[in-house]
């Protein structure tokens, strides 16, 4: 049943990606400004701009560009970057892991801390652990990540000298950016887990379990966790997108050699091939995460049936 569902969803992925591909192609051509003029630079005259246009293949009619983009993309060839003339796949390959690791680490610590704070707050509702936990959680979502990042660099790199500022070479490099990126998510998860648990802890079966004389810890973990996780997992899926997006800002602050920064640069320069390939990749990543969320859903809550 579940396997069939997964296969079906994977097949459903193809049309989504095609739609995304078409939309992105249209999107890049909607961007205001002539990419050849941008690529040619501040010293170029009109004749040079025309040379650059021919070089980039932008002098050909739109339909022709569209067809060649698609046929090449189907063969895994996304062309060369307008900005650096490197193959787009090379550009992205170099940046894929730093961004993936950054988001995964951010997710990992924020899930652990978010859930822990959320559960504690729900159990000790309206008592001091709840208040401290929620105060932390509220602070976490109330600060823009670039301000938090700036503050962390100032304190831990500049004043204390404990951690490096730029680069992605060692685990030390991951501490500040993943904390910055994950803070918002941890806070959201903590609040959501608390809300979700608070609901569950008032359900009849929990009361029954308590009445049966089970310890509070056992009640929470055995009966509460599973049911409360359903909305929390949805939230995780949603937050992954937030992390991918948030990495754009955080990568800029920490000079992170990842895909987010590449995308902003590409957008600035109207680097069509890079934008197209990156957005496709982002979308693929994201759809796969959502699929995983839906599958987890079923594993945790058998009430939901796969259609």
Partner 1 sequence: MKFAPRLRPAMLALVLASSGLPAPGWAAGKEVVMAVASTFTTMDPYDANDTLSLSVHKAFYEGLYGFDKDMKVVPVLAESHVVSPDGLTYTFKLRKGVKFHDGTDFGADAVKANLDRVTNPDNRLKRFNLFSNVARTESVDAHTVRITLKKPFSAFLNVLAHPSAVFISPAALKQYGNTESAFHPVGTGPFTFVEWKQTDHVKVARNERYWRPGLPHVDTIVFRPVVDNNTRSAVLKTGEAHFAFPVPYEQAAVLQATPGLDVLSGPSIIARYMTMNVLKKPFDDVRVRHAVNYAINKEALAKVAFAGFAVPSEGVVPPGVEYAVKLGPWPYDPKKARELLKEAGYEKGFESELWSAYTHTTAQKVIQFLQQQLAQVGIKVRVQALEAGQRVERVESVQRPQEAGVQLYYVGWSSSTGEADWALRPLLASESWPPRLFNTAYYKKEQVDAAIRRALATTDRSEKAAAYRDAQEQIWKDAPWAFLVTEKILYARSKRLSGVDVLPDGAFDFVEAELK
Partner 2 sequence: MSDEGGTSALPTSQAAVAVRTPWSEFWRRFRRQRVALVAGGFVVALLAVALLSPAIVPYDPENYFDYDQLNARPSAAHWFGVDALGRDIFSRILVGARLTLSAGFSSVGVGALVGSLLGLVAGYFGGLWDRLIMRLCDVLFAFPGILLAIGIVAILGPGMTNVIVAVAVFSVPTFARLVRGNTLVLKQLTYVEAARSIGAGDWTIILRHVFPGTVSAALVYFTLRIGTSIITAASLSFLGMGAQPPAPEWGAMLSDARAEMAVAPHVAMFPSLAVFLTVLAFNLLGDGLRDALDPKLE
Cβ pair 173, 96 in contact under 8 A: no
Neighbour tally for 209: CB within 10 Å: 19
175 interface partner picked from partner 1, partner 2, none, CB below 5 to 8 A per type = none
The whole-angstrom distance between residue 201's C-alpha and the CA centroid of its chain comes to 31
Q: Does 175 sit near partner 1 (CB under 8 A)?
A: no
Q: State the Cα angle at 215 between 210 and 221, rounded to 5°.
A: 90
Please report, as residue ranges, which positions from 252 to 291 form the binding site for partner 1 (by CB under 8 A). Answer: 252-255, 257-258, 261-262, 265, 268-270
Q: State the Cα angle at 40 between 38 and 44, rounded to 5°.
A: 115
Give the nearest distance from C-beta 301 to partner 2 in angstroms.
8
Q: Which is nearer to partner 2, 7 or 304 (CB)?
A: 304
- Which residues contact partner 2 by CB under 8 A? 12, 15-16, 19-20, 23, 27, 30-32, 134, 138-139, 141-147, 150, 154, 188, 191-192, 195, 198-199, 202, 230-231, 234-235, 237-238, 241-242, 244-246, 248-249, 252, 263-264, 267, 279, 282-283, 286-287, 290, 297, 301, 303-304, 307
- Nearest to 285, CA basis, from 231, 237, 220, 235: 237
- Nearest to 191, CA basis, from 109, 85, 119: 119
161 interface partner picked from partner 2, partner 1, none, CB below 5 to 8 A per type = partner 1
* Identified binder of partner 1 from the candidate list 150, 198, 230, 300, rule CB under 8 A: 150
DSSP 163-215: S-SS--SSHHHHHHHHHHHHHHHHHHHHHHHHHHHHHHTTSHHHHHHHHTT--
145 interface partner picked from partner 1, partner 2, none, CB below 5 to 8 A per type = partner 2
* Structure tokens given for 269: 């320069």
Helix (H, G, I), strand (E, B) or coil at 87: strand
Q: Does 45 sit near partner 1 (CB under 8 A)?
A: yes
Binding stretches for partner 1 (CB under 8 A): 31-34, 37-49, 51-52, 54-55, 83-86, 90-91, 94-95, 98, 150, 153-154, 157-161, 164-167, 169-170, 252-255, 257-258, 261-262, 265, 268-270
């Amino acid at each position: 049943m579940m396997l069939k569902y997964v296969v079906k969803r994977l097949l459903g992925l193809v049309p989504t990606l095609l739609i995304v591909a078409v939309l992105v192609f249209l999107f890049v051509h909607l961007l205001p400004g002539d990419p050849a003029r941008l690529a040619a630079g501040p010293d170029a005259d009109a004749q040079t701009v025309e040379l650059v246009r021919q070089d980039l293949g932008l002098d050909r009619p739109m339909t022709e560009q569209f067809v060649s983009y698609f046929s090449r993309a189907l063969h895994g060839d996304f062309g060369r970057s307008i900005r650096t003339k490197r193959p787009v796949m090379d550009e992205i390959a170099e940046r894929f892991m730093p961004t993936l690791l950054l988001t995964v680490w951010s997710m990992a610590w924020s899930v652990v801390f978010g859930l822990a704070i959320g559960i504690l707050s729900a159990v000790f509702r309206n008592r001091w652990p709840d208040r401290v936990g929620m105060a932390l959680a509220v602070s976490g979502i109330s600060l823009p990540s670039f301000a938090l990042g700036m503050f962390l660099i100032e304190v831990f790199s500049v004043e204390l000298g404990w951690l490096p500022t730029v680069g992605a070479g060692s685990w030390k490099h991951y501490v500040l950016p993943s904390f910055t990126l994950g803070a918002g998510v941890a806070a959201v998860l903590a609040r959501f887990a608390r809300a979700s648990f608070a609901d569950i802890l008032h359900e009849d079966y929990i009361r029954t379990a308590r009445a049966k004389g089970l310890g509070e810890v056992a009640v929470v973990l055995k009966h509460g966790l599973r049911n409360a996780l359903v909305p929390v997992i949805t939230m995780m899926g949603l937050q992954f997108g937030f992390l991918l997006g948030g990495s754009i800002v955080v990568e800029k602050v920490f000079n992170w050699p990842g895909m987010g920064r590449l995308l902003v640069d590409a957008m600035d320069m109207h680097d069509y091939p890079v934008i197209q390939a990156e957005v496709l990749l982002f979308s693929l990543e994201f759809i796969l995460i959502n699929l995983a969320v839906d599958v987890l859903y079923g594993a945790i809550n058998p009430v939901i049936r796969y259609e």
